[in-house]
Structure formats: C-alpha cells, structure tokens
Structure 1
Amino acid sequence: MRTGRAISGTSGIRIKVAMIMILLTALLLEACRSAPAVQKNYYLIESVDSVSGRDWKLSAALLEVVNVEVSPAYAGHKIAVREESNRIRYYDYHEWAVLPQLAIQDAVIANLSGTGMTAYAPPGFSGVRADFILRTTVSRMEMQDRGKEFYALLAIDFTVIDNRDRSIRIVHRAIREEKLKSKSMNLFADAISRMLAGECAALAQKIETIPDLIPKQ
C-alpha cells in the first residue's frame, strides 16, 4: 500500500508539472501573437544631381564603369556602424536594399552621365571601344557613433585607365564624412548618396583636363 501511495503521489506531481508547462506555453504563444512584428527597413544609394549649372566639355568621352570593389566588411546588405576605433557592428533591422557594389556602380554611372559623357557598365555597346576604364574601390562606408553625435563616412578611390595603352591617367581618392542631424538611417543613406555624387563630380573635372582624349567643344 505504501508503494501505491508513493506512485500515486509521484503521478500527481507529474500531472501538476505538465499542467503548469501547458499553461506557460499557452501564455508564451499568446504573448507572441500579441507582440507587434518587427519590421525591417531598407535603404537606397542613389544618384544625385550635383553636376548641373556647369558647362561640361565631356560629350565625346566614353567611360566603361567596371564592377565596383567593396571591402568585405561593407559588401553585404547589412549596414555597419562603428562604435570604437576597431569595432563595428551591424544593424539588425536596417539594410541596404541593393548590394553596395551594384548600387554604387549604378549611381556612379548615373552621376557621371549627368556631365554629358557616356558612362556605362560592361559589356557596353557592340563594336564600340571606350576611351576610359573606371575602377572604383570602396574601403569604408559606415555610420559612426561618436557618443551623442553621428556621422556618415565614405572612403572611395577612383582609377581612370586609358583604354588605348592601359596606362593610369587619373587616381582620385577621397575620405568624406558628414555630421547627421540625428541618428536617422534615412539621413545616413542620403548623406552617402550625396558624398558619392560629389566625388563623381570631382572626378569628372579631372577627366575634363585630359586634352588628348576629350576634344573641347
């Protein structure tokens, strides 16, 4: 009889534990259903009209914009934020809508096309040989958290290669940063787009100074 009571008591405890687990599971499921869904936000790197108001002399230039090289730390969809000198992290719910290498290539082509030159991605036009090859490298593209202040930073290199003899004609390097009014990812993406457009305009001015390839109108 003692053994029977012991077994009965153990069974009762197991039943109570099982009921508690069922109740906790039901409460957890209800909490999950009632909690708002976390929404991801996606941001664009776009061309910006930064070349208007200038009489460009680049209408005869053909520029092939080859694939952009982006440092591996910044090459994915995740947006990087630097919080210490050698430490970055990635936002969980803020991403680039398009891979940076593709978005930057499209923006560079659009920005430089605004100067009057014909900029395009390979393979380009059948039977047409470009005057220049443009190689673009992005080594840093990040938001910087400096305590109560936030900055957008872009480090970019352009190399213009003469397509006749493959010599390097122009090297343009820039490290740009812009203070943001607030910790806004939209402001950050806008700042990156504008800084990229500004460097494209600076590059176009350098290309314009190559007299043997760019006939003045």
Structure 2
Amino acid sequence: MKNLKNKIVTTCLLVFFAILLTNCTSKRILKKYYAFDAQSDSTLIQKNALPFSVIIEPFWAHPAYKTRQIALRTRSHELEYYYYHQWAEAPDVALRFLLWRKLKTLNVFQNVDLAIGQAYPNYGISGSIDRIEVKNPDKKTHYPQARIKARLELFDLKNRQVVVWHEFDRSAKLPKKFGMNQFVELINQMVNEESDIFIQKILKSLQ
C-alpha cells in the first residue's frame, strides 16, 4: 500500500514538472532583429544616369558598434548591449547595402556594384560609422535619444582622392517609454535623409 502511494506521488510530481516545463518553453522570450529599409526620394530619380561605374567598398565601424547587438549608452563613457534586441545585419553592412539599393533605384550611375565586375570602376564609395546607439536620458535632455554619427565619401579610384564627402552627427528624441522599433525607425529615417544629401552632393559635383 505504501509503495502504491509512493508511485502515485512520484507520478503526480513528474506530471506537474512536465506541465511546468511545457509552460516555460511556450513562454520563452525570443530575440528580435531589426533591419534598415531604403526609402528613396522620387525627386532624385535620374532619367539619364551619370556615365560612370562605381564600387561600394565595405564600410568601417567603430569596434564598439561593429556588432549586431544594439548599443545603449548609459553614461558618458559606459555602454551596455541589448541581448534580445539585435540588428539583422551589423550596422556597417546594413548601411552599405542601403546606399547600394538607393543608388540603383535612383539610377544615379550607369553601374553600381559591391565588387569589381567586368567594367573597372571610375569611382569608389566608402563609409564609416562612429556612433549608432540608444542614449539614456541625462541632465541636459531628460529623455532617451537615438543617435548616429557617420561619414560617406566618393573618391577617384585611381588615386583615392576624395571628390565628395558628407559627415553627420544626429540625435532624435525618443518617448520616455519607447519600443525598440521606434528607435530603429528614427535611425532609419536619419540614415535615409543623410544619404539623400550625399547623393545630391554627388549629382551636383559630377553632372
């Protein structure tokens, strides 16, 4: 009789832990990934592309931001990284592909490639990201911010002399209680606006 009770208790405990384990796994927290989206200004679409071939070289990023983890600046010299919120691609890779898509969509050059193809390029484009982060509130702002600091360059591929460059350091206010998608939307908006300015500079210089 005692053995039977022990077996019943053991069975009940096993069932209980099985149910508990099932609930835990069904409610597990998933990682979320965020991507840039190229948004083209229709007024920049060119009927006749500039008669040049261009290669977009791999972009550079500060080592602290050359990661898929989204950075959070908690203090002036202190960074933390979100674990469950990550970039779909490292920011330097994402910015490079975004610019490539925009130049193709806007028909700016005859050829725009990410690697040297049949036609040897006349120009190259390089880029660098020095900051891309969520910034915690401080004594001056009192609200969180989305910040990106970057530089884009068009250079002559023969001598690597810079022909056009555009540098920007922008911040935008976030709600006190914000979702990560709101942060990415602001970064995406700023990146598209600044890359449009870079393209306008190219057109003005080379046309």
* Alignment TM class, shorter chain as reference: 0.7 to 0.9
- Write the deviation string for residues 78-99 of structure 1: whole angstroms up to 9, x where unpaired: 1001111111101111111122
Shift of 1:31: 5.1
What CA distance in whole angstroms lies between the structure 2 residues aligned with 1:75 and 1:28? Answer: 42
Which stretches in structure 2 are left out of the alignment for 5+ residues?
1-12
Q: 1:143 to 1:58 in 2, by over 3 A?
A: farther
Percent of counterpart pairs with the same letter?
21
Give the counterpart of 2:186 among 153, 166, 191: 191
Question: Which of 87, 90, 106 is matched with 1:99 structurally?
Answer: 90
Residue 149 in structure 1 maps to residue 143 in structure 2: yes
- Match of 1:60, SS state, is strand
Runs of 4 or more, structure 1, over 6 Å off, are 26-30
1:171 to 160, 165, 171: 165
Structure 1 position 28, deviation (Å): 8.0
More displaced 10-residue stretch of structure 1: 192-201 or 107-116:
107-116
Query: Secondary structure at 2:96's aligned position in 1?
Result: helix
Tell me how far apart the structure 2 counterparts of residues 92 and 80 of structure 1 sit (CA, whole Å). Answer: 10
Residue equivalent to 2:23? 34
RMSD between aligned residues: 2.5
Q: Are residues 142 and 103 of structure 1, via their aligned partners in 2, closer, same or farther at CA, if it must alter by over 3 Å?
A: same
Q: For 2:28 and 2:45, how far apart are their aligned partners in 1?
A: 51
1:206 to 198, 201, 204: 201
Secondary structure of the corresponding residue to residue 50 of structure 2: coil
TM-score, structure 1 as length reference: 0.75
What are the Cα deviations for residues 113-170 of structure 1, in whole angstroms up to 9, with x where unaligned? 33322332113x21x1222111100011001121662211111011221124321212
Does the 8 Å CA contact 2:72/2:81 hold for their aligned counterparts? yes
Find 1:129's aligned residue among 105, 112, 120. 120
In structure 1, C-alpha distance between the alignment counterparts of 2:195 and 2:51, rounded to whole Å? 18
Q: Tell me the distance in 2 between the aligned counterparts of 1:32 and 1:43.
A: 30
Measured against aligned partners, the alpha-carbon deviations of 1:41-64 in whole angstroms (never above 9, x if no partner) come to 111122122x21246475334321
Cα distance change, pair 54–134 in 1 and its aligned pair in 2 (3 A): closer
Aligned residue in 2 for 1:68: 59
Matched residue, 2:43? 53
AA partner of residue 136 (structure 2): D
- For residues 38 and 200 of structure 1, do their structure 2 counterparts lie closer, same or farther at Cα, with a shift above 3 Å needed? same
For these two proteins, the number of residue pairs brought into alignment is 186
CA distance in 1, matches of 2:86, 2:44: 35
CA distance in 2, matches of 1:83, 1:115: 39
Q: Return the TM-score normalized by structure 2.
A: 0.78
